[in-house]
Structure 1
Amino acid sequence: MSTATGRKQIHLAAHFPGVNSTTVWADPRSGSQIDFSSFEHLARTAERGLFDFFFLAEGLRLREHAGRIHDLDVVGRPESITVLNALAAVTDRLGLAATVNATFNEPYELARRLSSLDHLSAGRAAWNVVTSSDAFTGENFRRGGYLDRADRYTRAAEFLGTVRELWDSWTPDGEPRPFAHSGPQFRIEGEFPVPRSPQGQPVVIQAGDSAEGREFAASAADVIFTRHSTLEAGREFYADVKGRLARYGRAPGDLKIMPGVTYVLGDTDADAQERAAEIRRQQVSPQNAILALEQVWGRDLSGYDPDGPLPDIDPDPDSTLVQGRVRVADPVAVARRWRALSEEKGLSIRQTVIESGSRQSFVGSPATVAAALEEFVAADAADGFILVPHLTPGGLDAFVDRVVPLLQERGVFRTEYAGTTLRSHLGLPEPVWKGGTP
């Protein structure tokens, strides 16, 4: 979406930080990951900044390391939709996006919960559809199993289609009609108890960079949450996914591409670079460095000195030392790259993990970061960004106070909400009712 001046508008969302090494829990400014006040603070800040939506991840099982609860991670995470229902009462315009797994839920129950959130928030609900092939997580559920990786999107596609059938079982003028669905994954029929939502249907977000994930997003999602945070990778991903839309009868504006990004602000660019380096050292503590090493090697390396050299043994590609985290695809290749980097620059274990890990996406003064964000969107590398602060819950404050006004001055970000629903914030059309006649 562009303004009358032709400048492409930037969409912004806020991710509540928590798991993984992005969040610096050791910082004295860090608060609780479970107290409602933390969620409220970040959500109110995002709404003050006129963001499109507030985004919550999901944690279905406590992650384990060597058979024990991982003590460098978040222990205790509330259920997403419950939190967002509460946030609906303390926000007015901000979209509320919940990550909910399509592998371990059922269409009727989830359709009802999301539609209820959409009504309670007056049309601000979104569902981030995720899948799982993780047997470790599956043990928490009645089926006690999991789907093969090849079947995850098959179930997810039918799951989403079934949910939309339920949402469409009420006509736009408020008439309920019976529903019936019969497919390989689900066979249900009855009457859906919740009327059509204020924005037609909740917004659907999909996170996935694989070929299957890209196709799923092109066929069914309203927003895709991606990891591509460099200009070159972003432009390739953007062109590829947008190029898939036409075969599903969709226009380029029907799907918003929003990578998850981090940022560090400073009074000057040099100041920001120094702060970014210090934050990386905080994110990769000595304990986290060994954990990162063990995730690649699949071995107990607790006896190694994080300030010493990398192990000279090879990784165990079949290891289950770490449970509940995404497995390293090719640990032998990763270990080879790390060794080459360590030898080239004379780096210790901790220094190697810091050097090889992801960098903050945008670093600089507020003016530098604002210009970089505009360049990224103008170059069709993204439609906007899901910002992931490194502090909970105050990490978004400086961005809203110092960067948002500059984006507004540039004419690439709203100065007020034009509508009341999340679809209106994103510039998405209301879904066409496909319920037909009974």
Structure 2
Amino acid sequence: MTRTARRQMHLAAHFPGVNSTTVWQDPRSGSQIDFSSFEHLARTAERGLFDFFFLAEGLRLREHKGRIHDLDVVGRPESITVLSALAAVTERLGLAATVNATFNEPYELARRLSSLDHLSGGRAAWNVVTSSDAFTGENFRRGGYLDRADRYTRAAEFVATARELWDSWTPCGRARPFAHDGRHFSVAGEFDVRRSPQGHPVVIQAGDSDEGREFAASAADVVFTRHGTLESGRAFYADVKRRLAAYGRGPDELKIMPGVTFVLGDTAAEAQERAAEIRRQQVSPQNAILALEQVWGRDLSGYDPDGPLPDVDPDPGGELAQGRVRIGDPLAIAAQWRALAEAKGLSIRETVIETSGRQSFVGTPQEVAARMAEFVTREAADGFILVPHLTPGGLDDFVDRVVPLLQERGAFRTEYSGTTLRGHLGLPVPVWNSGRP
């Protein structure tokens, strides 16, 4: 691939609603379940010539202190069902479904994904996620049977088995019997959906651990990362791309696309002001206390969100929410937060705002376009998965004001050159029965 082509970024749209990025109290915010919301965002992404539309998944409502978290989203439809409907109202846009590899089976899921690929003319993608917590597992027959150490081994075998099924049809359109006997799956029979238009649906993977990076290098086509800074992005990019050679893969066979947010303004100052207001909407008083309790492992509901941090230390063994992993050392995090709050005179809510995720690209459309292009040029990313803060119109401004500037720079396509998602991403079509994972 030429250097000019490599600088062309890939863009995807994440439907907001299942994360703390979404601002529900904004009067412009719409439904997270009406089909019109999904259609609006998908049509906007296709108008902007995006590579794909991305849906997250939640297999159980979040709870906190034994109660459903009041600010959680309920009623989100199942991803492949929504994307199958979107296939009828879009023509080129890729359709990516998040589906859990822990609580599904290879034959059934391979069949659903292959069906979506046929319905869409080769635009399907699977974002592979795993789960090791018993809280989520209670919704399923086998419960929390899977040890954390096994989640990637099962996911890797799941992906490999699905690809065996997709490859079980011959190039001339005949089904071959398949048989797989592994540690997690033992299946045999005949796959009843012929090979799809792009060979295999595109496989997306999210994970920053060493195991996750290795899994991505061995089995994924796209990596969905959390690295929002240039420095951390370049380090992650170099590390994952370096691992590809061990699996006989080239650097262009895996696209690295961090999930990012954006805030636009007519001036840099206006954009910064908007970004600050959005952060205050995202971190409500209730969410600030919840974030504090996740670190402290204690009931802190009696504290004022606009008051100082607690003087009591975190309980290292405390757990107030099932199905969530406490990240890092609570005592060390508390010490960092206290030092920051003391130095800047911050309240609980202000401290959470300061230390939690913030908008990745803030500025005028020209500034945002230049910064995004720099990430791709300097090999911190191959593109971006945009996560707007409003449902469903949060992407409109970006498509109208930033995409044309990226196109003027030669940093983004001016038209679709193909019809399949693999074609949009510049990924090779899998060789039938190649033996690759």
* Same fold, TM-score > 0.5, yes or no: yes
Worse-superposed segment, 67-76 or 252-261: 67-76
Counterpart-to-counterpart distance in 2, 1:6 and 1:245: 20
The structural deviation recorded for 1:297 is 1.0
The residue number in structure 1 matching 2:204 is 205
The residue number in structure 1 matching 2:396 is 397
Counterpart-to-counterpart distance in 1, 2:242 and 2:172: 35
The answer to whether the 8 A contact 1:170-1:435 is kept is no
The residue number in structure 1 matching 2:407 is 408
Calculate the aligned-residue CA RMSD, in Å.
1.2
Counterpart-to-counterpart distance in 2, 1:247 and 1:7: 22
The answer to whether the 8 A contact 2:134-2:323 is kept is no
Unpaired segments of 5 or more residues in structure 2?
A: none
Counterpart-to-counterpart distance in 2, 1:74 and 1:327: 21
The structural deviation recorded for 1:325 is 3.5
The residue number in structure 1 matching 2:301 is 302
State how 1:123-162 maps to structure 2 within 5 Å.
123-162=122-161
Counterpart-to-counterpart distance in 1, 2:281 and 2:86: 30
The residue number in structure 2 matching 1:313 is 312
Query: What are the superposed Cα offsets for residues 48-101 of structure 1, whole Å, 9 maximum, x if unpaired?
Result: 000000001110000001111100111221111111111111100000000111
The structural deviation recorded for 1:340 is 1.0
The structural deviation recorded for 1:335 is 1.2
> Could you tell me which amino acid in structure 2 is paired with residue 338 of structure 1?
W
The structural deviation recorded for 1:331 is 1.7
> Could you tell me which amino acid in structure 1 is paired with residue 160 of structure 2?
G
Counterpart-to-counterpart distance in 2, 1:262 and 1:71: 24
The residue number in structure 2 matching 1:186 is 185
1:430 counterpart = 2:415: no
The structural deviation recorded for 1:328 is 2.6
Give the 3-state SS of the residue equivalent to 1:323 in structure 2. Answer: coil
Counterpart-to-counterpart distance in 2, 1:428 and 1:386: 17
The structural deviation recorded for 1:173 is 2.4
Counterpart-to-counterpart distance in 1, 2:339 and 2:357: 17
The residue number in structure 1 matching 2:16 is 17
The residue number in structure 1 matching 2:162 is 163
Give the 3-state SS of the residue equivalent to 1:386 in structure 2. Answer: strand
The residue number in structure 1 matching 2:109 is 110
Give the 3-state SS of the residue equivalent to 1:276 in structure 2. Answer: helix
Counterpart-to-counterpart distance in 1, 2:53 and 2:123: 10
The residue number in structure 1 matching 2:69 is 70
Counterpart-to-counterpart distance in 1, 2:328 and 2:38: 33
1:57 and 1:330, CA in 2 relative to 1: closer, same or farther beyond 3 A?
same
The residue number in structure 2 matching 1:217 is 216
Give the TM-score taking structure 2 as reference length: 0.98
The structural deviation recorded for 1:7 is 6.5
Give the TM-score taking structure 1 as reference length: 0.97
The answer to whether the 8 A contact 1:2-1:9 is kept is no
1:373 counterpart = 2:390: no
The answer to whether the 8 A contact 2:11-2:385 is kept is yes
> Could you tell me which amino acid in structure 2 is paired with residue 377 of structure 1?
V
State how 1:62-101 maps to structure 2 within 5 Å.
62-101=61-100
The answer to whether the 8 A contact 2:132-2:144 is kept is no
Query: What are the superposed Cα offsets for residues 207-255 of structure 1, whole Å, 9 maximum, x if unpaired?
Result: 0011000000001100000001100001101110000111110010000
Give the 3-state SS of the residue equivalent to 2:431 in structure 1. Answer: coil
Counterpart-to-counterpart distance in 2, 1:177 and 1:93: 31
1:287 counterpart = 2:286: yes
The residue number in structure 1 matching 2:243 is 244
The answer to whether the 8 A contact 2:294-2:319 is kept is no
> Could you tell me which amino acid in structure 2 is paired with residue 30 of structure 1?
S
Counterpart-to-counterpart distance in 1, 2:63 and 2:318: 13
Worse-superposed segment, 402-411 or 295-304: 295-304
> Could you tell me which amino acid in structure 2 is paired with residue 220 of structure 1?
A
Unpaired segments of 5 or more residues in structure 1?
A: none
Counterpart-to-counterpart distance in 1, 2:328 and 2:103: 24
The structural deviation recorded for 1:318 is 2.4
The answer to whether the 8 A contact 1:171-1:435 is kept is no
The answer to whether the 8 A contact 1:7-1:411 is kept is no
Counterpart-to-counterpart distance in 1, 2:239 and 2:204: 18
The answer to whether the 8 A contact 1:132-1:146 is kept is no
Give the 3-state SS of the residue equivalent to 1:158 in structure 2. Answer: helix
Counterpart-to-counterpart distance in 1, 2:159 and 2:325: 24
The residue number in structure 2 matching 1:362 is 361
State how 1:3-82 maps to structure 2 within 5 Å.
8-82=7-81
The answer to whether the 8 A contact 1:85-1:117 is kept is yes
Counterpart-to-counterpart distance in 2, 1:428 and 1:7: 12
The structural deviation recorded for 1:294 is 0.9
Query: What are the superposed Cα offsets for residues 146-186 of structure 1, whole Å, 9 maximum, x if unpaired?
Result: 31111111111111111110000012221110000001111
1:322 counterpart = 2:314: no
The structural deviation recorded for 1:329 is 3.0
Query: What are the superposed Cα offsets for residues 129-152 of structure 1, whole Å, 9 maximum, x if unpaired?
Result: 111111100000001223111111
The structural deviation recorded for 1:6 is 6.0
State how 1:329-344 maps to structure 2 within 5 Å.
329-344=328-343
The structural deviation recorded for 1:2 is 4.8
Give the 3-state SS of the residue equivalent to 1:367 in structure 2. Answer: helix
The answer to whether the 8 A contact 1:50-1:414 is kept is yes
Worse-superposed segment, 194-203 or 309-318: 309-318
Give the paired residue count.
435
